[in-house]
Amino acid sequence: MHHTLELLNRAVAKADSERELSRALGLKPTTLSSARSRGHLSPTVAALVAARLGEDELYWTAIAGLESEKANPHREKLIRRMLRKS
């Protein structure tokens, strides 16, 4: 699992709903659904979700930061490098 939406899906599966997970993380009720429509979590939200799941917060913050960048060869190279280290 290496995409923030996959991380979100795992967290939602352990919660009553996406809305309830948002509240549990101290976020607005629509924050996670907005992130889902954008296609990725922000670095801050990724860290909060990772912490709730007991995952590496720094790793997920970095993945979220890379996902939020516009696609370019450097970004793709960094993502591949991160995925190999996980």
1 has a pLDDT exceeding 80: no
Q: b vs e for 68-80, b when ≥16 Cβ sit within 10 Å of the residue's Cβ?
A: beeeeeeeeebbe
pTM of the model as a whole: 0.85
Residue 52 is part of a domain; what is its CATH number? Answer: 1.10.260
Would you say residue 67 has pLDDT above 70? yes
Tokens representing 31?
């924050």
Question: What is the count of structural domains for the chain?
Answer: 1
Lowest mean pLDDT among 8-12, 19-23, 35-39, 67-71: 67-71
Domain span at residue 60 reads 4-85
Q: What secondary structure letter does DSSP report for 65? A: H
